[in-house]
Structure 1
């Protein structure tokens, strides 16, 4: 079956816009992400339901006021966290409060006072070892209201009176009253499993591999998984995937289907495949992009690419085996599973900082695969290794050369700027973090031709991407 079979050429761009909107925002309501989104998705609901299931195995559920895309997850991804009111990633405490808030709203009526909701969440949190919630403590109130604000932005809650910010600062003198949209509350959280029966986060992953029966069904499941990988990851490297997926990733039909469905280009290189979204219409992360971190990351990527490239005659870095996708998944799952309630280890919730490196984080020694092998059996591709000392020297040089384009806070703390720039590059699959440094991944070569100059009048930097 052809993708977008029932869409005329004149309407294809409008349909592709609806696809991108739904893929970027799996929950759409009358107010989120904007008031024009739901009418657009509802117009194409039938075709979207068919295409998204056939291409990815996703299910689209629509009601009068919501559109909910139920995805199939093949891996764990920490690069798209829920964000606080100040655009900081949720920590574990905030995620826990968000789940408890949804549970409390499910038991409430059509309206609820913020203090009443807080008391209900605090009562449930107090029954979980290591979590708790004390409404007398401002950090706990801040974390709770971040969860409430996340739901409010999506239309599950609507402020009817008062101010949540005032309540956070002075709960004895301020209050807030919310209207509850039960339809949106029900659409926000739709687990694919009975969570009480899970003993590892990996049980939430990929539902169709174990159900495949017969060669045709196996091929269809593999094709869906290959398309999901290309859609969900910035870059899919052939060295990271199962042998059964290589043929699907290299098949012309994959690029044709994804390009017709999303309206974006699919780029193939010797090492892998990626959807190219320079406009930010599908991804919420643009690279190259504005801001000190993105600019520093781009300049650092250019330095790494030049150092690893053929033009460097002073000696290239040593090549070491990169952690495989399976190893990264196992490490990330172990980090998440360590905080599951049945292990009685929720003390980790006291740490408000996201786990360093996210899904790209690493703890193996440089040049050592996660199973303790040296990768010499060919199971891990060798990548150039850049030690932390090299990275720190490079960042200090960049701050010295382009510092007037960076914020004063970042100029004063180049080590912090380096950490954030590397975190961005790792999330984009341009480098892989390992103990003692990073490994340069093949897609980084795209930025070998980057040039930059600082404009003296406005003290801003002009960055030019690769040709």
Structure 2
């Protein structure tokens, strides 16, 4: 296999996680030495010499790591896992407004809203399917202006290479561990073909490393809070480290470990050289400069709120948001919403995310409806200087969730366990909104964040009935129809709320 090299990794720094949080991952990374970004067979450097720890150390490293996990608290263990394994996927909001991009400085509270769903449950009154135009091809040249001049197009080979590079990059952002026997093994030759360009792009943009082995590709990501692996607790992480030291990809070898760990290893199918790499490779430095930190947050999280950034990071994003988002449009095909409160990168294909919102299933549907009801009640007036967040009364959450459950629970076939346990339903729906950057805990209560307003579209009236000779007369809905019921319900709330 060809050897590929890229520039040296970021200098190691102590403490923090790139998001100004410290923990076990920060201490672990502070002890690690910087490494070059390489895409070569596991344990072999560009000159043929071994890199990292000797191959005989995985078992000892696994025991040391297992002890660290066992002694850590849940949050610290999650952060340590992101530093060691870096196996979390990117996360982005779904849906794009059909309206034109608003003027700079527009608040999410008062900006365009999302009319996006494939489920009739979430289609508004007056919903009409609008064909979305395909995004322009990256690198396309302007067409000639002459009357008989044919459009100028890039060479087919260049377009194909750009498309392949983007496909491989998106796959690695979503699934940082790609193994020959895993669910995405068919893409391994594509990653190999573009390994050098991928390594250079990931290092320059995000400070990430890309390594290749005989049967795997691994994108080393930086520590990121809130990205636990399959809900593992500290004991589960310790079991994962010991199972990886076994060096076998056979599912039968995972029988002694807990079921969540067994399911994770069965999905990864780690070959021996990847298992050793996961246990012995030096983690990425825990801190980075403002530019790289901001880019990592843009690439990996649904929303980057200005108020959540350190001063230097906030200053950089405020000054360079258009340029930074353009980089991700070129490399990953992501589009941007730049608002008064922050920046969100969106995937037009609604694929580059480990959580989907909008999405199928009980929690995603209920969380979206809950966000809409809360925005309806709490959205600041358009004349106000909109705050980045508003406090949500507990009674409003309970009442809105109760109404949603009564209205849609049975008809939408929602999970019976949630319908029977509204406390658990509330907890998990709010947790999903929190993970997606739309709500945040504040002591014993909650804050509704401005980006939630993008999911509360206002109903748009149908165009007036035509008067021409071929126009059809308007037809009033039947008295028992869903449209008339939804309209009555909307009018009763004192404001035009989009029916779902």
1:194-205 to 2 correspondence within 5 Å?
none
- Is the contact made by 1:237 and 1:272 (CA closer than 8 Å) also made in structure 2? yes
Structure 1 residue 446 and structure 2 residue 484: aligned?
Answer: no
Is contact 1:31–1:155 with CA below 8 Å preserved after alignment?
Answer: yes
**Which residue among 423, 427, 447 is the counterpart of 2:431?**
423
Could you tell me how far apart the structure 2 residues matched to 1:290 and 1:450 are? 22
Q: Please tell me whether residue 96 in structure 1 is matched to residue 246 in structure 2.
A: no
Change in 2 beyond 3 A, CA 1:47/1:397: same
Provide the C-alpha distance between the structure 1 equivalents of 2:375 and 2:347, rounded to a whole number of angstroms.
21
Cα displacement (A) at 1:303: 0.8
Structure 2 match to 1:188: 278
The correspondence for 2:262, drawn from 132, 135, 148, is 148
**Structure 1 equivalent of residue 226 of structure 2:** 77
Q: Provide closer, same or farther for how the CA distance between residues 192 and 395 of structure 1 changes in structure 2, counting only shifts above 3 A.
A: same
CA shift, 1:9, in A, is 3.2
Instruction: Report the counterpart of residue 389 of structure 1 in structure 2.
Output: 395
Could you list the per-position Cα deviations for residues 284-315 of structure 1 after superposition, in whole angstroms to 9, with x for gaps in the alignment?
211111111111000000011111124699xx
Distance 2:374 2:280 in 1: 43
Aligned to 1:34, which of 169, 175, 184? 184
Instruction: Give the structure-1-normalised TM-score.
Output: 0.59
**What does 1:9-408 correspond to in 2, within 5 Å?**
9-73=159-223, 75-78=224-227, 81-83=228-230, 89-103=231-245, 105=246, 114=253, 144-156=258-270, 181-192=271-282, 206-207=286-287, 209=288, 221-250=289-318, 251=320, 252-277=322-347, 279-310=349-380, 383-403=389-409, 404-405=411-412, 406-408=414-416
Against the structure 1 CA distance between its residues 455 and 56, is the aligned structure 2 distance closer, same or farther, given a 3 Å change threshold? Answer: farther
Q: Distance in 2 between matches of 1:287 and 1:245?
A: 27
- Looking at structure 2, the residues matched to 112 and 401 of structure 1 have their Cα atoms a distance apart, in angstroms, of 44
SS in 2 for 1:307: helix
The 1-side partners of 2:348 and 2:420 are apart by 31
Please give the alpha-carbon distance, in whole angstroms, between the structure 1 residues aligned to 2:438 and 2:234.
27
> Could you say which structure has the higher helix fraction?
1
User: 1:28: how far off?
Assistant: 1.0
Q: What TM-score do the two structures reach when normalised by structure 2?
A: 0.56
Pairwise CA distance, 1:184: 2.6
Query: Alpha-carbon deviation of 1:42?
Result: 1.0
* SS across alignment from 2:302: coil
RCO greater where, 1 or 2, for CA within 8 Å and sep 6 or more? 2
Larger mean CA deviation between 89-98 and 290-299 belongs to 89-98
> C-alpha distance in 2, partners of 1:297/1:243?
32
- Structure 1 CA distance for aligned equivalents of residues 250 and 367 of structure 2: 46
Contact 2:297 2:304 in 1 (8 A): yes
Question: 1:387 touches 1:436 (CA, 8 Å); kept in 2?
Answer: no
* CA shift for structure 1 position 234: 0.8
* TM-aligned CA deviation for residue 444 of structure 1: 0.8
Unaligned runs of 5+ in 2: 1-137, 140-154, 460-479, 483-496
Give the distance between the partners of 2:303 and 2:481, measured in 1 at CA. Answer: 33
In structure 2, do the counterparts of structure 1 residues 387 and 192 end up closer, same or farther at CA, with 3 Å as the change threshold? farther
Q: Distance in 1 between matches of 2:330 and 2:188?
A: 22
Secondary structure, counterpart of 2:350 in structure 1 = coil
Would you say how many aligned residue pairs link Structure 1 and Structure 2?
308
Contact in 1 for aligned 2:388/2:450 (Cα 8 Å): no
Contact 2:439 2:449 survives alignment (8 Å): yes
Task: Please say if residues 292 and 407 of structure 1, whose CA atoms lie closer than 8 Å, have aligned partners that are also in contact.
Answer: yes
Shift of 1:249: 1.6
Kindly name which structure, 1 or 2, has the bigger radius of gyration based on alpha carbons.
2
Structure with greater proportional strand content: 1
Change in Cα spacing, 1:190 to 1:400, as seen in structure 2 (3 Å) is same
State the distance in 1 between where 2:356 and 2:279 align.
28
CA distance in 2 between counterparts of 1:441 and 1:255 reads: 22
Deviation of 1:400 (Å): 1.4
Q: Which runs of 5+ in 1 are unaligned?
A: 84-88, 119-140, 157-180, 194-203, 210-220, 320-380, 457-463
